[in-house]
Structure 1
């Protein structure tokens, strides 16, 4: 275990930066067969309370009898008190443990307890098997659901969710499949976590980036599978495994998740993609290498280091010392950061020492699970990726303090021989995939509630559907009203690159909020529909083409169009059907081309009224809808 020096600078530690988790090595495929009659009479609440009562009374022999066979095979009776009491030791003596609630995730029945200790509050979660045995337990810091922001792009009416189980037997994992509404099967993205014992939402402090990505991609017609990490579901069994490597922690479960998807009718088994974040991106080449059935259509790496893990860790520790000084922290905290750096310099020196290996550990190695470190020591993601041919999209935040933005340039240099890799950086994004407008310091941004920006999901959706991030070649930064993080940003780049719209060069503006006249709408539509073959943009030509296509225009070139009128024109232009405004709006909803506005309670209703058909249609709205239609057709 890491020495006590690290505890004194806990506030400086970057969330999820260390791969100091353990995971199990044995893969029992034995299922627990419990009859329906037996299951009906099991009182899971009582079983959990019984375990907590005997453990708090330090009746360890009695407590051990309540463990599942799988947990007993990993945890000896002598180690049980160390795990149960040791986890609460930093918080002092426990004064009260109170039952909170019971949930089932498809793998375990989970009993939660609120724990009050001398130095703070905790939550104890006891995981029970179907026959009521304790299969694992862990302590966590309590979270307030109100701390998490519901993203504005979360439209539950656009998707459904169902619970799935990844793998089978001892280390099966619960997950959630988010499926867009409409006619499938849909392309699907599997989300792979970073370091640490993450849940399926990759919850960190006050943010849930994987939840955001799931609902965001669902709006674009892409299914998402996310699951609780092995070290979250089976923390004790995994931490006690000797030969635990990144394969067991991350790689194998990602491959099992993709195998699971092949059997689900909602998803297109020919279009399975994998997205790895942080350590998950670091492991992407290993996941691709382990894909023996060639299931993976494409891989998305987000904030992934291209080099050795231990080198990144040492850089992070060096940065902590610099930040402590820059923030003028108390001298004792600066000294603690220096001692922590010295500790990791020593440990990483041992990792890099060639006389040691997975078969021979140094006696003074103090990081948890030495096998993990020596197994990963010589792995360089970019080196392995050079030899692979699965298309990749590599994304990076410009304010990332865990994986510095310049690492994206390293990826570009190392993969220069590959033509099937796309790259993009987001200027204000920090490591948790959320934009932060101010200066980052490794603390404030993590404690500020936020959501993954919509443009991030839009880029992923475009790449999944077309093989390109679709942000064009045009440099929109020359326009004073351009903002790369607006809902229309990428659509404008696409439209300008395709010469569907043009900027106002004299004013150096894009004017995304400009209301459109009938003739302006027609020019934009015809540029898209007819392409470069259409040369004559005179009013006569515009209305001649509109008549030939049967578009229901009113011959009022300077009349401002309403959103409802634009919906009718779009529906006719792409279906050749004459629709009422209500029918046209419903067509836009059905194909996820548009969404309604929020009501006073923040709910989005897919109704004619919530579309606000009488409002004026603006450039940004039309271009975004055309962009979505373009992606839909491709």
Structure 2
């Protein structure tokens, strides 16, 4: 014989069910709302066009980001990546910058590094001169595009690009401006500064610091005599060895020094962007070298005391939760205060008259 539930029990169950349904509905609305916020925050006032650039018998897969209105031709900012396997949008990191530049009426051009996103080649096979040649070919391609003002093409580059930007200017006297973000100057001094800064940040002891410096000196000695990767692995203790490809890349580039090429930027408007919490680059040395080699009003220096090397807000980058949430819901807020605006104002200050190279 079945027993009917008590009326009170049935009522409570209905209330629980209604509560669960209401909660589920509220969560669905919240999820949809948050999803809408994410989509909206990652919608940029740009017209992006996939482009193909021919370089050295290969093709470079790129993106040409145009202002949302108008027909052009637009002045152009050519993006030069820092270290690592970077794609054309730098995993969307560039889009807030492109949007800000577009508000000053500028287009932006960027491309996948070799071997990234299905592109042929391997970026670890490149020297800084190879990278400059690649950018020069991209500029030559851009000058033939009806959307681009061929007389107003300039460069934007970060970190490792500090060794590439002046080389491009030496090859392309038509470069009209440069935005250099956290650029390095001397490969060896930059590496030492980075090592010591990270050891301090990690609370290393004096003994640990001394051991790390000895290890570094061993690596430098091997590089100077063009040692093989096998020799490097045998000579250097530790689990964090460079791969053979990375060793090859460092071997070909470790003598880089931007000071040799920076005079090519004399007379060119340069915005030097420096961060207050830069563990990678000695910003004091960078500023001193730029001021010494690029005297005059064409050099402008912008300091961001709350920024990390990548010009993200230091407080955000230091927290994985804040970094993730800000990246999802407010990607423009990732950057140090004033960083996006100052670049836009720098470009706006250059005027609008095209100068044919």
Could you tell me the TM-score, scaled by structure 1's length? 0.42
- Equivalent in the alignment of 1:456: 339
Whether 2:266 is the aligned partner of 1:382: answer no
Q: Could you tell me whether the CA contact under 8 Å between 2:65 and 2:98 is conserved in 1?
A: yes
Which secondary structure state, in structure 2, belongs to the residue aligned with residue 265 of structure 1? coil
Aligned-partner SS, 1:398: strand
1:166 to 30, 33, 53: 53
Return 5+ residue gaps in structure 2 as ranges: 1-34, 234-241
SS at match of 2:136: helix
Matched, 1:252 2:101: no
Shift in CA distance, 309/273, structure 1 to aligned 2, threshold 3 Å: same
Shift in CA distance, 240/303, structure 1 to aligned 2, threshold 3 Å: closer
CA distance in 2, matches of 1:444, 1:405: 28
Equivalent of residue 300 in structure 1, options 172, 179, 182: 179
Q: Distance in 2 between matches of 1:410 and 1:445?
A: 34
Residues 157-194 of structure 1: per-residue CA shift (max 9 Å, x gap): x4311110122576322111111112421111011111
CA distance in 1, matches of 2:40, 2:288: 33
1: CA distance between counterparts of 2:291 and 2:349?
24
Alignment match, 1:319: 197
What residue is the counterpart of 1:275 in the other structure?
156
Q: Report the counterpart of residue 348 of structure 1 in structure 2.
A: 220
SS at match of 1:226: strand
Check conservation: 1:400, 1:429, Cα contact below 8 A.
Answer: yes
1:434 maps to 2:312: yes
What displacement does 1:284 show? 0.9
Larger relative contact order (CA 8 Å, sep ≥ 6): 2
Contact kept in structure 2, 1:199 and 1:227, CA below 8 Å? yes
Displacement after TM superposition at 1:376 (Å) = 3.1
- Residue of structure 1 in register with 2:29 after alignment: none
**Deviations, residues 86-109 of structure 1 (Å, cap 9, x unaligned):** xxxxxxxxxxxxxxxxxxxxxxxx
> Is the 2:112–2:119 contact (alpha carbons within 8 Å) kept by the matching residues of 1?
no
Indicate the RMSD between aligned Cα atoms, in angstroms. Answer: 3.6
**Within the alignment, does 1:395 sit opposite 2:273 as a pair?**
yes
* Superposition deviation, residue 424 in structure 1: 0.9
Q: Retained in 2: the 8 A contact 1:194–1:277?
A: yes
Structure with the larger helix share: 2
Which residue number in structure 1 is paired with residue 104 of structure 2? 220
Pairwise CA distance, 1:298 = 1.4
SS in 1 for 2:272: strand
Q: 2-side partners of 1:247 and 1:383: how far apart?
A: 13
Is the CA contact (8 Å cut-off) linking 1:177 and 1:223 kept in structure 2? yes
Task: Choose 1 or 2 for highest CA Rg.
Answer: 1
Q: Deviations over 1:305-334 (max 9, x none)?
A: 12x2132122212222222227x9xxxxx9
Measured in 1, the distance between the counterparts of 2:40 and 2:304 equals: 18
Residue of structure 2 aligned with 1:210, choices 75, 94, 97: 94
What SS class does the counterpart of residue 232 from structure 1 fall into? coil
For the pair 1:264 / 2:173, whether they are aligned, the reply is no
- Specify the SS of the correspondent of 1:422: strand
Aligned to 2:232: 365
Instruction: Return closer, same or farther for 1:454/1:164 CA change in 2, 3 Å cut-off.
Output: farther
Q: CA deviation at 1:213?
A: 0.9
- Aligned-residue offset at 1:420: 2.1
Q: Is the 8 A contact 1:399 1:405 kept in 2?
A: no
- Cα distance in structure 1, aligned partners of 2:260 and 2:169: 13
Q: Do 1:383 and 1:414's aligned partners in 2 also have CA atoms closer than 8 Å?
A: no
Question: What TM-score does the superposition give when structure 2 sets the normalisation length?
Answer: 0.71
Structure 1 residues 264 and 271: alpha-carbon distance in aligned structure 2, compared to 1, 3 A threshold:
same
Q: Give the unaligned 5+ runs of structure 1.
A: 1-145, 329-333, 468-630
Report the Cα distance in structure 2 between the residues aligned to 1:149 and 1:340, rounded to whole angstroms.
Answer: 43
Q: Is the contact made by 1:314 and 1:345 (CA closer than 8 Å) also made in structure 2?
A: no
